[in-house]
Amino acid sequence: MCTDASALVEAIRSLAVRGAPVLGIAGAYGVALAAARGFDVEEAARALEGARPTAVNLSVGVRRAESAYRAALAETGDPTAAATAALAAARALHREDAEASARMAAHGLALLDELLPGGGHRVLTHCNTGSLVSGGEGTAFAVALAAHREGRLRRLWVDETRPLLQGSRLTAYEAARHGMAYTLLTDNAAGSLFAAGEVDAVLVGADRIAADGSVANKVGSYPLAVLARYHHVPFIVVAPLTTVDPGTPDGASIEVEQRPGFEVTELMAPQVPVTGAGAGIPVAPLGTQAHNPAFDVTPPELVTAIVTERGAVSPVTAEALAELCDGLRRTATG
C-alpha cells in the first residue's frame, strides 16, 4: 500500500505498478496523494515522471493532475481545494481509460473480423495488456477478450515474456480467469509457430507511440513484427491516444529504459516487485554482464494498424496519427 508519492515511485520502479495506461492513472493519483498530504507537489510530480522514462502515459497522468492542482490553487488560494481538484482529475482519467478500453476492444474486434473473415482467430500476444494494466479490461488483451466473448477466438497464444515473465505470470492468469482457450509458449518458440501457420494475427500494446507511428513496447515485440511481416500476418498495436506522443518525432527519439542486469542473470521469484540483486536464483556465472532493455521499437512500416479508442489507423502514417490526435484535442477543448 502506497501512503505517499515516494512509495508509489518505488512501486513503479520495481514493477509492482506497471503497464502504460495504469501508470498514467497511478501518476495522477500520486500527485493527488502528495497534494492531500501537504507535500511538495512539484517535487512529487517530477519524481513520478522520472520513475520510468519510456511509458509516456505516466507523464500524461502526472501533468494532468498537476495542472488541475495548480489551476485550482491559483483560483482559490486554498491547498485543500487544489488537492480536491487533483483528485477529481485523477478520477476522470481513470474513468476515461475504462471507457477507452471498451471502445478499443470494439474497434479491434471489428478490424480482426475485417482482416480475417470467417472467425476462429488464433492470436499471439506479448507481455500483459489486460485489466491489470488498465482502468478497464485492457488494450490488446481486451480485443482478444471481446473475440472470445463473441465466440470468435480459437486460440490465444501467450508469450512468456522474458525476463520477468509477465505473459506467463499475468496474461495466462487473466486468460484462465475468463475461460479463454490459451497456450503459453517461450518467446523463442514464436518463430516456429508462425512457420507452422498457427498464428492469424499479433496483438500487442504500446508504452509510447512516436509521431511517425514508431511503437515502443515490451522488448520482444519488434522480432514478432518482423516475423509477422515475413509470414504475412497482421501485426496490430492497441493503445489509447494518450500513448501517442506528438513531441517524440520518431523511433530513434524514444528513450528506451535499461533495466538492472540481475533480472536476466537471476531467475526471479514469481511475485512482484523485483526486489534487487540476490533475490532470485542465479542462472549465469557471478559477474556476468547482461543487456536488459525494457522495451524495443517497431518502425511504422511493420505495423499493420494502430487501434485507438477513436478507431484504427491503417496504414500507419504520421498524418493519420496527427489527425486522430487533433480530433481528440478538439473534443477535449469543446
Which segments are annotated as binding site for substrate? 18-20, 52, 166, 217-218
Residue 52 and residue 17 in contact, taking contact as beta carbons nearer than 8 Å: no
- What burial class does residue 242 get, using C-beta atoms within 10 Å of its C-beta: 0-12 exposed, 13-18 middle, 19+ buried? buried
Beta-carbon count within 10 A of 278 CB? 8
The set of cell numbers assigned to 104 is 478499443
CA-to-CA dists, residue 108 to 39, 64, 121, 324, angstroms: 42, 27, 12, 16
Distance of alpha carbon 103 from alpha carbon 310, whole angstroms: 8
Point out the annotated binding site.
Answer: 18-20, 52, 166, 217-218
Beta-carbon count within 10 A of 38 CB? 10
Residue 55 and residue 248 in contact, taking contact as beta carbons nearer than 8 Å: no
The set of cell numbers assigned to 35 is 497534494
Cite the active site residues: 207
The set of cell numbers assigned to 83 is 488537492
Collapsing DSSP to helix, strand or coil, 58 comes out as helix
Distance of alpha carbon 22 from alpha carbon 61, whole angstroms: 9
